[in-house]
Amino acid sequence: MRRHLLGLALVVGPACAAAQGVRVTGVTAVQGIELRPLVYDSIAPYFTVGAGEWRLTPDGTPARCLPNADYCVFQRSGDRIQAAPLLQDLSFSSWGIGEGVSVHVDLRGRTQLTTQGLIYPRSDTHFEVMDAYADVDRPWGRARLGRQWIAGGLGVYNFDGANLVYRRSRYSVEGWAGRALEAGLNVGYSSAELAAIENLPPDQNGYIVGVRGRMRPNAVTSATATYQRVLVADRSGLYSERAAFDATTRAYGVSLDMALAYDFASGAWNEARLRLGRAGLHTLGVSVEARHSAPFFETWTIWGAFSPVAFNEARATLDWRPGSVPVMLSAHGAYRRYNESDAGFTLRSNGWRAGASALLTGSSEFSGHASYDVDIGDGASRNDARVSVRWNPGAERSLGITGSALQNIYEFKIGTGRVMGLALDAAAPITSDIRLMADVGFYRQLFSNGAPGPDWTQRRASLRLEWTLGRDPGQMGKAQ
């Protein structure tokens, strides 16, 4: 911790002192979360319904009665537990240190204001350096050194190291290398954080090395090829070896997006996606997509050896934005089928999803949104309907109300039920650089078919304060 802070101070201090501009943004977020976890309970066998090992309690809950056992075991919702995680983000940007030189640091602090039985994920990681790098950007390319992350067709990888981009006309080559960090954790592979949650964690750190080539032959066409390895620290093997190819172009009003991701360890295409979109019909947008998806696992886990199978999916979307009415209507539908798993008993091996939504922005102050989605597949299915109305009396000021009705259907467990919800949210500026946002939700679970399950009836709330110090470097789309 001290080492982290000292390192940061050494980087940020001189950077701020020498910079033409410094901008600091902060987001403070507090959440209130409730949960009723499933707990084990027991019941005397003679109170159960049925016979044999699997029986039911009088209220329909499955209970397991092992032979010759004095009691049967079942699960029910336990007492309500609560948590109030507090997250604090701080972002420093300083620029103008030299020609094209800037320094960026993103920090996150976490704690829990109260812990009544529930520990919010990662809230015991009190301090995290999400990124901290110096950036030199010139017309010929860009160099970046420090903690950073690279996003592309392989997903998001963070690492401590260097990244270099060389640009020439319509082509660029990028390379990166450094100490690999666990995705989304910002810790090394052999860290205690991973070991705390996984009983077979990797015992060595990893090093990442990757290269990416990009070409943009014209204004609407670009393609990127990526190759990346994460090496085991002692170079005895690889945690991953992957490649990706992404391309997008447009012709005759039709856009084409393609994404391929290949895993050399399993020999599987983790992602193969081809999407054709026609958005040139003035108010009508149409797209069709074919997708092949297989999960990816690094080789420090055993999961890749379990031969996960892929699914193939076809999807279509339709967006309609009539010019005369300030409404945007959308609909989508998709069907997927899993490859043969060669694993015995037949379970559902297909799925489909569909949905429709309408966004009404008739007035500059009021807007409305309604949506319905259904997703039927193996493992779990759901129906989800939502309606919301938002009032924006001024810039940065808003008040919204959302009603929702959700049905969960689990294939692998009991607990079918509906959750009805009502949520309110509001945002208001305190000053031009400080903004307060809050939301509160009330949810009630209604069990259907006499099937009990985890009770999601609860209240949730969050409060978020955003503030900014320093002037805008001019990038309006950037987080402020």
Q: Which CB, 178 or 400, lies closer to other proteins?
A: 400
Q: Which CB, 176 or 239, lies closer to other proteins?
A: 239
Q: Which CB, 58 or 253, lies closer to other proteins?
A: 253
How far, in Å, are 8, 110, 332 from residue 5 at the CA level?
5, 16, 48
- Minimum CB separation from other proteins for residue 93, in Å? 7
* No. of helices (H) and no. of strands (E), the chain: 2, 26
Look-up of token digits 């537990």: 81
- Minimum CB separation from other proteins for residue 27, in Å? 5
The H or E element that residue 7 is part of is helix 2-18
- Minimum CB separation from other proteins for residue 203, in Å? 9
How far, in Å, are 97, 133, 169, 206, 475 from residue 136 at the CA level?
10, 10, 19, 26, 17
- Minimum CB separation from other proteins for residue 416, in Å? 9
Instruction: Name the DSSP class of 58.
Output: T
- Minimum CB separation from other proteins for residue 415, in Å? 8
What is the distance of C-alpha 103 from the center of its chain?
26
> Both tokens of residue 315?
């999807």
What is the distance of C-alpha 70 from the center of its chain?
45
- Minimum CB separation from other proteins for residue 242, in Å? 11
Q: Which CB, 177 or 410, lies closer to other proteins?
A: 410
- Minimum CB separation from other proteins for residue 370, in Å? 9
How far, in Å, are 156, 193, 209 from residue 201 at the CA level?
20, 10, 22
Q: Which CB, 190 or 402, lies closer to other proteins?
A: 402
Alpha-carbon distance 85 to 89, whole Å?
A: 13
How far, in Å, are 30, 81, 114, 353, 462 from residue 459 at the CA level?
14, 12, 16, 29, 10
Other beta carbons less than 10 A from residue 265's beta carbon: 17
- Minimum CB separation from other proteins for residue 306, in Å? 4
Q: Which CB, 1 or 200, lies closer to other proteins?
A: 200
Q: Which CB, 3 or 449, lies closer to other proteins?
A: 449
377, 409 Cβ separation under 8 angstroms:
no
The Cβ-side half-sphere exposure at 124, using a 13 Å CA radius, reads 8
Q: Which CB, 148 or 205, lies closer to other proteins?
A: 148
